Structure 1
Amino acid sequence: MATCLVSNEPTINPLVAIASATEDRVPEIPRDVAEIVVVRHGETTWNAAGIIQGELESDLNEVGWKQAAAIAERLAKEQKPVAIYSSDLKRAKDTAEMIAKKWHIPEVIVVPELKERHVGSLQGLVWGEIKEKEPEAYHAFFSSQNDLEIPGGGESFDQLCERSVAALEEIASRHKGERVVVVTHGGVLRAIYMSVTREPTAGKIMNGSVNVLHLSDKKWAFNSWSDVSHLNEVGFLQRGFNGDTLLQQ
């Protein structure tokens, strides 16, 4: 699948392992930069069962709640965010509210544009059966034609990229010199990464992973990507999210 691109030439830092959550020194955020900690929601019942969620609802399972708690515990040892944003889907909001509770932040700001990609008639199916049951939607999903919408009311990859990038740029414009947390989904994270880096794949994106972005005047830099070091004691699905293979969640 080809990538869709951000409108401006991005500035990309080499991907590096994120600093330990227990590191004492808190680096200062430049006044013209917004630091956005983008989190994938915790594991759900459908993640564990290999069912395609898209924009359908699926609750966090027991592991997912533990992951949300582990994310909150990890971020509580870092610089406090000034705001927490979330997709309007319950699995993301529940994860975000766990983080907000740890920080005693009274409100999670819901942004519908951060929700997962609508994948049309593939939603609610098990990944292993989609090629046989929904061949047109299957081929649209894995097509290199990024403007191809998925049958059944689904979005094209370009549409997902455009709304995901625009949502983060809007958040960044409100928070220059500040740190915020955004809780979203694997498909959104993948679209953002591929848009910014122009790489053909984003690799595995695990439930509960933490990713740190710096945005300045629509210039993007990744400080870390798909970090799950805080989940060592909780565990996570090894197959993760990878939209370039049938292991996608």
Structure 2
Amino acid sequence: MSSAAEPRHAVLYRMVTDTHVCPYGLKARDLLRRQGYAVEDRWLTTREATDAFKAEHDVKTTPQTFIDGRRIGGYDDVRRHFGKAVADPKATSYRPVAALFAITALMALAASHAVDGTALTPRAAEWFVAFSMVVLALLKLQNVESFATMFLNYDLLAKRWVPYSYLYPFAEGLAGLLMIAGVLNWISVPVALFVGTVGAVSVFKAVYLDRRELKCACVGGASNVPLGFVSLTENLMMVAMALWMAVKVWGPAAGPM
């Protein structure tokens, strides 16, 4: 008797040409192998061969997977076949924001350890907020036009003065960079305090008073993050950071400049 059961068999048709290798075909092959299937990997090496295959099987896309002679479908269909989740590109999700804050927190801890020899310092908390501001600004600036369009749905100042929707990510990024460097506090503090306060009031009104269901522009104009707690937190973090820096720099205990 064999010590191990023979692997099940799957046939995968995927596009592989001199100029293009279908990434979904690679993902489908990997998934099938991880599920214990022996994969008969059949390449469609020309556009003509691909078009003929799609016409023969009356399908619109490749790759296509067949198991036990039955067509399963493309990569998403194979995932469903094995009971795995399939991402909905239109579904709301907090994952982008959770990933962002996790990374900026680790960056802050790493920077603190590099500078002070220990990760847990007050400066690490400051850097966490400042790094988050810079990364959030970067995401918005990837497509500032898309961000501005989404931002205009709820920001009170932007609705009255449209250029503010384009200036916002630059202001957020500038304040964050200056706070990281610890310079020009007379610029970073009022900028962060202003944009954070206006943003917090705008989000609170749109979500908690007007009860509007909107997408948050906080991680860029193409996000599916719901407007609400996350965006409010972003703005309140800026306000808190600005107030903290003001007390730290200009408070009674700050000492002579």
What's the TM-score bracket when you normalise by the shorter of the two chains? under 0.3
Give the structure, 1 or 2, with the largest relative contact order (CA under 8 Å, sep 6 or more): 1
Normalising by structure 1, we get a TM-score of 0.21
Normalising by structure 2, we get a TM-score of 0.20
* Structure in which a larger fraction of residues adopt helix: 2
Which protein is bigger by CA-based radius of gyration? 2
